Structure 1
Amino acid sequence: MNTTRKVLVLGATGGFGGETAAALLRRGWQVRALVRDATRPGLSPDIEWIDGDAMRADDVLAAARGVAVIVHAVNPPGYRHWSTRVLPMIDHTIAAARANGARIVLPGTVYNYGPDALPLLHEDSPQHPLTRKGAIRVELERRLERAANEGVRTVILRCGDFFGTRTASSWFAALVKPGRPVRAMLYPGRRDLRHAWAYLPDVAETVVRLLERESALAVFERVHFGGHWIDGNALANAIRAAASQPRLRVRAFPWWLATLAAPFVTLLRELREMRYLWQRPLQLDNRKLVALLGAEPHTRLAQAVETTLRGMHCLPAADTAKRPAPLPSPR
């Protein structure tokens, strides 16, 4: 049986995993996904859904049988249980990849870096994280790098903050209120500082193009996705245009509230730890990615923001009519 275009996606009901699965399907890959309840409504009929849990090594090993790629896009929700679940899950993926000769795809984060690496993050920038989440992600990548010495292939695609229709728990979803018309915008940093944002459909297209360049990839590969490097004013203007609200107010994110609520609300405690990433410019150097692919998939900011707000049900009904999504343009 030809398994060269068969992939297992862990976390296929989430943002990165869901978009990547959809992009792979469009390019003719056979997609399998592990989910706790394969009978739940709303799952894509084009994906082979398998009951299982990424926290159980046997489930991951069985689901990965015969695949060429494992997309590891699974994380504990709401930043809970990272200390007990993140590393066991990557160990299970490594074991399954080793058994099947599969390449692992991991969405990398900027949590790995401390202020000493900012503002421009290169693939070899020092990883001195300030947070518990960052330390866990650094160890996760170390385990993948050690496994590469045994022949387990990995590509880490590091991105800025995700946005798109599948990112309900992202920073973008904190800027506006999902499910409600846009009336104001919260911004977590200084509006004149640039920040890296990654539009998920572009990221997913990048994953597919990397996998289709397997012969050009090293056994252990880190590449950075540039995405949209914009300041808060540019993002606010894009939201104003999409929502037809030229006077949309921009307010500062209430970090004081995150501090007060941190002992009681896990999400706010974890968000507070990442504040330093909004206090300086943050950019990812994508020159290596461009050298591999020739260009980085890139959707215009206006279109990406409008599609995201429409998917979050933040635009009036008149603006929610389905329109064909144009393909990302290279840059």
Structure 2
Amino acid sequence: MPNTVLILGANGRFGRHAAEAFWNSGWRVRLFDRRTDTLVDAAEGADLIVNAWNPPYPAWQNEVPKLTSRVIAVAKSSGATVLIPGNLYVYGKGSAKRLSPDTPHRATNPLGRVRIEMENAYRDAGVKTIVLRAGDFIDTEVSGNWFESVITVKARKGLLVAPGHPNTMHAWAYLPDMAKAAVQLAEMRDRLETFEDVPFPGYALSLTDIALLASQATGRDTRIRRFPWPMIQLASMVWPMGRHLSEMRYLWDMPHEIVGERFRTLLPDFRGTPPGQAVARSLGIDIDVYPHQPVTRRNFGIAAE
């Protein structure tokens, strides 16, 4: 009998890819509908709950603890494992460049504290939990995240927008790969710790690297323009989302990458998509690249702000 997974937030970025990946791997997939479903009924008989619910930033403080409590309660009653797409917010400003399960969770900003408290709630509850932790998403369609909606929105016209210094190393996760990893971890859940923190290595790329990959995909030179943070800071006086975007700005200025030792120990045969192919697909371009083609670094002109 196939395993059953309940996807919470199936219309969101990770949830959408997770639903497809589990379905393609032979799982029975239930997509939770807030309009018609109750969580208790939807979780009955589920082997896994993917908690991909992600309210808008201004609602995190109020909604995330409530959603977390509900998921923990149904996981306890159903015996299901919970899988969460984790992020890097828990580490906080000034963290080490190389982020791993041993890196302390020292965030003091509001969004970081919400994520720390959420993860602690799962750990303290004793619910079987897998946190698949990743950097910023690279999606296959425009879905409202930084990469497609801001950074590369004009990449096919030869322009990238950089939220931080173009040469700052940044952690990225290609969503189809991350979803594939989620399936593989779920299928070995009985061999994992009760609370398993698994950093997804993905890619460590600067915006300069991404500009090169975009140029390789589009066949045209790519300029880099700085993101207009002063406008966001001004708007944040009356725009709550702007305040939270500014709150997380430090991640664009702090060089970081994810250490994948735990991931490779658990999934030694995992093969991800080459970064050039991931960037091209996010731009709607299908190209063939060698599986381990390196990123050749060079300097790019930075357009005036």
TM-score, normalised by the number of residues in structure 1: 0.83
Shift of 1:166: 4.7
Asked whether the 8 Å contact 1:158–1:224 carries over to 2, the reply is yes
Q: Which residue of 1 aligns with 2:239?
A: 265
Is residue 49–residue 80 contact of structure 2 (8 Å, CA) maintained in 1? yes
1:80 positional shift: 2.7
Secondary structure at the counterpart of residue 250 of structure 1? strand
Counterpart CA distance in 2 for 1:267 and 1:72 is 23
Alignment partner for residue 103 of structure 1, among 78, 81, 85? 81
TM superposition shift of 1:195: 0.6
CA shift, 1:269, in A, is 1.7
Q: RMSD of aligned C-alpha atoms?
A: 2.1
Q: 1:66 aligns to what?
A: 45
Matches within 5 A, 1:1-331: 2=1, 5-37=3-35, 51-52=36-37, 59-77=38-56, 79-148=57-126, 152-166=127-141, 168-172=143-147, 173-177=149-153, 181-246=156-221, 248-310=222-284
Q: Which runs of 5+ in 1 are unaligned?
A: 38-50, 53-58, 311-318
Alpha-carbon distance in 2 for matches of 1:166, 1:62: 32
Q: Matches of 2:231 and 2:182 in 1, distance apart?
A: 37
Opposite residue 105 of structure 1, the aligned amino acid is L
- How big is the shift at 1:260? 0.8
Partner-residue secondary structure (3-state), 2:166: coil
Matches of 1:200 and 1:129, distance apart in 2:
25
Deviation at 1:158, TM superposition (A): 0.4
Q: How far apart, CA to CA, are the structure 1 residues paired with 2:108 and 2:158?
A: 34
Number of corresponding residues: 290
Unaligned runs of 5+ in 2: 293-305
Residue equivalent to 2:296: none
Go from structure 1 to structure 2 and tell me whether the alpha carbon gap of 1:194 and 1:13 turns closer, same or farther (over 3 Å shift): same
Shift of 1:242: 1.9
Query: Matched residues in 2 for 1:117 and 1:102: separation?
Result: 33
1:206–1:297 CA contact under 8 A, matched in 2: no
- Alignment partner of 1:9: what SS? strand
| Whole-angstrom distance in 2 between the partners of 1:132 and 1:154 | 23
Contact 1:18 1:166 survives alignment (8 Å): no
The 1-side partners of 2:99 and 2:68 are apart by 24
Distance in 2 separating the partners of 1:32 and 1:324:
33
Letter in 1 for 2:177: D
Q: State the Cα distance separating 1:244 from its structure 2 match.
A: 2.5
Shift of 1:130: 3.4
**Larger deviation, residues 132-141 vs 251-260:** 251-260
Deviation at 1:23, TM superposition (A): 0.4
Q: Over residues 25-77 of structure 1, what are the superposed CA-to-partner deviations in whole Å (9 max), with x where a residue is unaligned?
A: 0000000011245xxxxxxxxxxxxx23xxxxxx2111101100000000113
User: Residues 136 and 171 of structure 2 are in contact (CA less than 8 Å); yes or no, is this contact kept in structure 1?
Assistant: yes
Contact in 2 for aligned 1:113/1:130 (Cα 8 Å): no
User: Does the CA-based 8 Å contact 1:156-1:223 persist in structure 2?
Assistant: yes
Query: Percent same amino acid at aligned positions?
Result: 35
> 2:300 is matched with which residue?
none
- Whether the aligned pair in 1 keeps the contact of 2:158 and 2:215 (CA below 8 Å) is no
What secondary structure is seen at the aligned counterpart in 1 of 2:283? helix
